[in-house]
Amino acid sequence: MDLTEMLYKISRFLHWALVWLSDLTAGILAHRLFRQHFHLLLSVLVLFGPLLSFWVSKYSIFCNKNHYLYRLFLQSCFGWTCIFGGSFVFLLSFSISNSILHSLRHLLPFAVSGSLWTLLRLLLTFLVDASGSCFEPLISPNDAHRNPEELLNFKEGPLLLLRGVESKEACLKGGLKWQGCEVSHEILILTFCCLLLSEEISVFWSFIGFGKPLGVPLRIIFMLCVFLMSLWMFLILCLLAHFPLFPSQLVGGALGYLGWKGLYKGWGGCKPGWCCLGITGCQSSGHYTVN
Protein backbone atom coordinates (compact mmCIF):
# COMPACT_ATOMS: atom_id res chain seq x y z
CA MET A 1 0.00 0.00 0.00
CA ASP A 2 1.57 3.27 -1.10
CA LEU A 3 1.35 6.58 0.74
CA THR A 4 -1.31 8.03 -1.56
CA GLU A 5 -3.68 5.12 -1.02
CA MET A 6 -3.10 5.24 2.74
CA LEU A 7 -3.89 8.96 2.90
CA TYR A 8 -6.99 8.36 0.79
CA LYS A 9 -8.27 5.68 3.17
CA ILE A 10 -7.55 7.89 6.18
CA SER A 11 -9.44 10.79 4.60
CA ARG A 12 -12.36 8.51 3.77
CA PHE A 13 -12.45 7.25 7.36
CA LEU A 14 -12.31 10.78 8.78
CA HIS A 15 -15.13 11.83 6.44
CA TRP A 16 -17.24 8.85 7.53
CA ALA A 17 -16.53 9.65 11.20
CA LEU A 18 -17.50 13.30 10.71
CA VAL A 19 -20.76 12.39 8.97
CA TRP A 20 -21.64 9.75 11.58
CA LEU A 21 -20.81 11.99 14.53
CA SER A 22 -22.57 15.07 13.13
CA ASP A 23 -25.69 13.05 12.25
CA LEU A 24 -25.77 11.47 15.72
CA THR A 25 -25.30 14.83 17.45
CA ALA A 26 -27.91 16.50 15.26
CA GLY A 27 -30.40 13.77 16.11
CA ILE A 28 -29.79 14.24 19.84
CA LEU A 29 -30.14 18.03 19.64
CA ALA A 30 -33.35 17.74 17.63
CA HIS A 31 -34.92 15.18 19.97
CA ARG A 32 -38.10 16.31 21.68
CA LEU A 33 -36.71 15.68 25.17
CA PHE A 34 -33.66 17.83 24.54
CA ARG A 35 -35.63 20.64 22.88
CA GLN A 36 -38.17 20.80 25.69
CA HIS A 37 -35.90 20.30 28.70
CA PHE A 38 -32.50 21.79 27.87
CA HIS A 39 -33.39 25.06 29.58
CA LEU A 40 -34.37 23.06 32.66
CA LEU A 41 -30.94 21.41 32.65
CA LEU A 42 -29.27 24.83 32.63
CA SER A 43 -31.58 25.97 35.42
CA VAL A 44 -30.52 23.00 37.56
CA LEU A 45 -26.85 23.78 36.87
CA VAL A 46 -27.23 27.41 37.92
CA LEU A 47 -29.36 26.56 40.95
CA PHE A 48 -27.29 23.72 42.39
CA GLY A 49 -23.90 24.38 40.80
CA PRO A 50 -22.61 26.40 43.79
CA LEU A 51 -22.89 23.25 45.92
CA LEU A 52 -19.87 21.92 44.02
CA SER A 53 -17.74 24.48 45.86
CA PHE A 54 -17.75 22.11 48.86
CA TRP A 55 -15.93 19.42 46.87
CA VAL A 56 -13.68 21.22 44.37
CA SER A 57 -10.03 21.72 45.25
CA LYS A 58 -8.87 25.24 45.97
CA TYR A 59 -5.62 24.34 44.20
CA SER A 60 -7.36 23.59 40.90
CA ILE A 61 -6.12 25.52 37.87
CA PHE A 62 -9.69 26.76 37.36
CA CYS A 63 -9.56 28.62 40.68
CA ASN A 64 -7.41 31.22 38.93
CA LYS A 65 -9.49 33.85 37.14
CA ASN A 66 -6.43 34.51 34.91
CA HIS A 67 -6.63 31.00 33.44
CA TYR A 68 -6.39 31.12 29.65
CA LEU A 69 -9.89 29.63 29.24
CA TYR A 70 -11.37 32.53 31.18
CA ARG A 71 -9.23 35.15 29.45
CA LEU A 72 -9.83 33.76 25.95
CA PHE A 73 -13.52 32.90 26.08
CA LEU A 74 -15.28 34.39 29.09
CA GLN A 75 -15.15 38.07 28.17
CA SER A 76 -15.90 37.42 24.49
CA CYS A 77 -18.27 34.42 24.62
CA PHE A 78 -21.01 36.29 22.76
CA GLY A 79 -18.57 37.16 19.98
CA TRP A 80 -17.51 33.51 19.63
CA THR A 81 -21.18 32.49 19.60
CA CYS A 82 -22.00 34.97 16.83
CA ILE A 83 -18.97 33.95 14.73
CA PHE A 84 -19.61 30.21 14.75
CA GLY A 85 -23.39 30.24 15.18
CA GLY A 86 -23.84 32.93 12.54
CA SER A 87 -21.54 31.09 10.12
CA PHE A 88 -23.52 27.89 10.58
CA VAL A 89 -26.89 29.59 10.10
CA PHE A 90 -25.71 31.46 7.01
CA LEU A 91 -24.15 28.40 5.34
CA LEU A 92 -27.11 26.19 6.18
CA SER A 93 -29.72 28.60 4.86
CA PHE A 94 -27.62 29.36 1.77
CA SER A 95 -27.15 25.66 1.00
CA ILE A 96 -30.93 25.28 1.09
CA SER A 97 -32.14 28.45 -0.62
CA ASN A 98 -29.10 29.52 -2.71
CA SER A 99 -30.03 33.10 -1.87
CA ILE A 100 -27.64 35.44 -0.06
CA LEU A 101 -30.46 37.84 0.81
CA HIS A 102 -32.56 35.05 2.27
CA SER A 103 -29.57 33.78 4.24
CA LEU A 104 -28.78 37.21 5.67
CA ARG A 105 -32.31 37.48 7.03
CA HIS A 106 -31.65 34.48 9.25
CA LEU A 107 -28.83 36.37 10.97
CA LEU A 108 -31.34 38.82 12.46
CA PRO A 109 -31.58 36.91 15.77
CA PHE A 110 -27.84 37.44 16.31
CA ALA A 111 -28.12 41.15 15.50
CA VAL A 112 -31.09 41.56 17.84
CA SER A 113 -29.32 39.56 20.55
CA GLY A 114 -26.24 41.75 20.28
CA SER A 115 -28.31 44.92 20.59
CA LEU A 116 -30.21 43.56 23.58
CA TRP A 117 -27.01 42.45 25.29
CA THR A 118 -25.41 45.89 24.83
CA LEU A 119 -28.46 47.68 26.22
CA LEU A 120 -28.80 45.22 29.08
CA ARG A 121 -25.17 45.65 30.11
CA LEU A 122 -25.60 49.44 30.21
CA LEU A 123 -28.81 49.08 32.24
CA LEU A 124 -27.29 46.63 34.72
CA THR A 125 -24.20 48.79 35.13
CA PHE A 126 -26.42 51.79 35.88
CA LEU A 127 -28.49 49.84 38.41
CA VAL A 128 -25.40 48.47 40.17
CA ASP A 129 -23.83 51.93 40.39
CA ALA A 130 -27.09 53.46 41.62
CA SER A 131 -27.77 50.83 44.29
CA GLY A 132 -24.27 50.32 45.68
CA SER A 133 -21.75 52.24 47.73
CA CYS A 134 -17.97 52.39 47.92
CA PHE A 135 -16.20 51.61 51.18
CA GLU A 136 -12.65 51.87 52.42
CA PRO A 137 -11.51 49.18 54.87
CA LEU A 138 -10.17 50.71 58.06
CA ILE A 139 -6.75 49.20 58.71
CA SER A 140 -5.81 48.47 62.28
CA PRO A 141 -2.18 48.33 63.36
CA ASN A 142 -2.37 44.54 63.44
CA ASP A 143 -3.48 44.45 59.79
CA ALA A 144 -0.89 46.87 58.42
CA HIS A 145 1.31 44.04 57.16
CA ARG A 146 -1.44 42.65 54.89
CA ASN A 147 -1.28 43.21 51.15
CA PRO A 148 -4.16 45.08 49.39
CA GLU A 149 -5.79 41.91 48.09
CA GLU A 150 -5.94 40.38 51.54
CA LEU A 151 -7.40 43.56 52.95
CA LEU A 152 -10.19 43.59 50.38
CA ASN A 153 -11.02 39.98 51.22
CA PHE A 154 -10.78 40.63 54.92
CA LYS A 155 -14.35 40.40 56.18
CA GLU A 156 -13.76 41.58 59.73
CA GLY A 157 -13.37 45.14 60.93
CA PRO A 158 -15.19 48.38 60.11
CA LEU A 159 -15.62 49.96 56.68
CA LEU A 160 -15.60 53.68 55.96
CA LEU A 161 -18.29 54.87 53.53
CA LEU A 162 -16.93 57.10 50.75
CA ARG A 163 -19.44 59.53 49.28
CA GLY A 164 -17.41 60.81 46.34
CA VAL A 165 -17.11 57.54 44.39
CA GLU A 166 -20.21 56.93 42.27
CA SER A 167 -19.32 53.91 40.14
CA LYS A 168 -18.23 50.38 40.93
CA GLU A 169 -15.47 50.49 38.32
CA ALA A 170 -13.86 53.59 39.84
CA CYS A 171 -14.20 52.12 43.32
CA LEU A 172 -12.45 48.85 42.45
CA LYS A 173 -9.74 50.63 40.47
CA GLY A 174 -8.92 52.61 43.59
CA GLY A 175 -8.38 49.43 45.57
CA LEU A 176 -11.54 49.96 47.60
CA LYS A 177 -14.52 47.72 48.38
CA TRP A 178 -17.90 47.95 46.64
CA GLN A 179 -21.08 46.75 48.29
CA GLY A 180 -24.50 46.64 46.64
CA CYS A 181 -26.77 44.54 44.46
CA GLU A 182 -24.95 42.50 41.84
CA VAL A 183 -25.94 40.60 38.71
CA SER A 184 -23.47 38.12 37.26
CA HIS A 185 -22.90 39.25 33.67
CA GLU A 186 -20.84 36.13 33.02
CA ILE A 187 -23.55 33.62 34.00
CA LEU A 188 -26.15 35.72 32.20
CA ILE A 189 -24.39 35.75 28.82
CA LEU A 190 -23.14 32.15 29.09
CA THR A 191 -26.66 30.90 29.81
CA PHE A 192 -28.10 32.96 26.96
CA CYS A 193 -25.41 31.79 24.51
CA CYS A 194 -26.06 28.13 25.38
CA LEU A 195 -29.78 28.56 24.72
CA LEU A 196 -29.13 30.58 21.57
CA LEU A 197 -26.81 27.96 20.09
CA SER A 198 -29.11 25.07 21.01
CA GLU A 199 -32.00 26.85 19.30
CA GLU A 200 -30.09 27.63 16.10
CA ILE A 201 -28.16 24.40 15.53
CA SER A 202 -30.99 22.03 16.43
CA VAL A 203 -32.48 22.60 12.96
CA PHE A 204 -29.60 20.71 11.33
CA TRP A 205 -31.36 17.36 11.73
CA SER A 206 -34.38 18.59 9.74
CA PHE A 207 -32.23 19.53 6.75
CA ILE A 208 -30.38 16.25 6.72
CA GLY A 209 -33.73 14.72 5.73
CA PHE A 210 -33.89 16.94 2.64
CA GLY A 211 -31.46 14.60 0.89
CA LYS A 212 -29.48 17.56 -0.39
CA PRO A 213 -25.71 17.04 0.01
CA LEU A 214 -24.28 18.94 2.97
CA GLY A 215 -20.61 19.77 2.58
CA VAL A 216 -17.81 19.02 4.99
CA PRO A 217 -17.33 22.69 5.99
CA LEU A 218 -20.95 22.91 7.17
CA ARG A 219 -20.62 19.75 9.23
CA ILE A 220 -17.34 20.97 10.76
CA ILE A 221 -18.90 24.30 11.75
CA PHE A 222 -21.86 22.43 13.22
CA MET A 223 -19.55 20.34 15.40
CA LEU A 224 -17.64 23.49 16.41
CA CYS A 225 -20.94 25.01 17.53
CA VAL A 226 -21.68 21.90 19.58
CA PHE A 227 -18.20 22.09 21.12
CA LEU A 228 -18.71 25.78 21.88
CA MET A 229 -22.04 25.12 23.59
CA SER A 230 -20.41 22.37 25.68
CA LEU A 231 -17.58 24.76 26.58
CA TRP A 232 -20.05 27.40 27.76
CA MET A 233 -21.71 24.83 30.02
CA PHE A 234 -18.32 23.81 31.38
CA LEU A 235 -17.44 27.45 32.12
CA ILE A 236 -20.78 27.89 33.90
CA LEU A 237 -19.91 24.95 36.16
CA CYS A 238 -16.41 26.32 36.77
CA LEU A 239 -17.71 29.75 37.77
CA LEU A 240 -20.42 28.31 40.01
CA ALA A 241 -18.05 25.84 41.70
CA HIS A 242 -14.96 28.02 42.12
CA PHE A 243 -16.47 31.51 42.35
CA PRO A 244 -19.95 31.09 43.91
CA LEU A 245 -21.83 34.38 44.22
CA PHE A 246 -25.37 33.94 45.47
CA PRO A 247 -27.83 35.33 44.47
CA SER A 248 -26.16 37.37 41.69
CA GLN A 249 -25.41 34.26 39.60
CA LEU A 250 -28.95 33.00 40.06
CA VAL A 251 -30.33 36.35 38.89
CA GLY A 252 -27.92 36.34 35.93
CA GLY A 253 -29.07 32.87 34.86
CA ALA A 254 -32.72 33.92 35.18
CA LEU A 255 -32.15 37.01 33.02
CA GLY A 256 -30.36 34.88 30.41
CA TYR A 257 -33.33 32.53 30.29
CA LEU A 258 -35.81 35.41 30.03
CA GLY A 259 -33.80 36.93 27.19
CA TRP A 260 -33.93 33.65 25.25
CA LYS A 261 -37.62 33.21 26.07
CA GLY A 262 -38.50 36.69 24.86
CA LEU A 263 -36.42 36.38 21.69
CA TYR A 264 -37.45 32.92 20.51
CA LYS A 265 -40.85 32.41 22.10
CA GLY A 266 -42.04 36.02 21.98
CA TRP A 267 -40.55 37.89 19.03
CA GLY A 268 -39.93 34.60 17.22
CA GLY A 269 -43.55 33.54 17.52
CA CYS A 270 -45.03 36.36 15.45
CA LYS A 271 -45.84 36.20 11.76
CA PRO A 272 -42.68 35.94 9.57
CA GLY A 273 -41.57 39.11 7.81
CA TRP A 274 -38.59 41.40 7.46
CA CYS A 275 -38.98 42.76 10.98
CA CYS A 276 -39.88 39.38 12.42
CA LEU A 277 -38.60 36.10 11.06
CA GLY A 278 -40.98 33.95 13.01
CA ILE A 279 -38.04 32.11 14.53
CA THR A 280 -40.27 29.45 16.03
CA GLY A 281 -41.36 28.59 12.53
CA CYS A 282 -37.73 28.46 11.42
CA GLN A 283 -37.23 25.34 13.46
CA SER A 284 -39.24 23.41 10.90
CA SER A 285 -37.98 22.81 7.40
CA GLY A 286 -41.09 24.38 5.96
CA HIS A 287 -39.67 27.86 6.50
CA TYR A 288 -37.04 27.15 3.84
CA THR A 289 -37.51 26.30 0.22
CA VAL A 290 -35.23 23.80 -1.45
CA ASN A 291 -34.15 24.70 -4.94
Return the minimum-mean-pLDDT range out of 8-12, 163-167, 226-230, 257-261.
Answer: 163-167
| pLDDT band with cut points at 50, 70 and 90 for residue 226 | very high
For 43-54, write each residue's pLDDT tens digit.
999 999 888 888
CA distance 107 to 92: 11
For the segment 253-275, the average pLDDT, to the nearest whole number, is 77
Tens of pLDDT, residue by residue over 152-201, are: 444 545 666 666 667 788 887 877 888 878 888 899 999 999 999 999 99
Residue 148 has pLDDT above 60, yes or no: no
pTM of the model: 0.83
| pLDDT of amino acid 180 | 77
Write the DSSP string, 191-256: HHHHHHHHHHHTTHHHHHTT-----HHHHHHHHHHHHHHHHHHHHHHHHHHHS--TTHHHHHHHHH
pLDDT tops 90 at residue 127: no
Strand-pairing partners, residue 145, are none
- Confidence band of 228 (pLDDT split at 50, 70, 90): very high
Cβ–Cβ under 8 Å, residues 30 and 202: yes
CB-count exposure of residue 206 (10 Å: 0-12, 13-18, 19+): middle
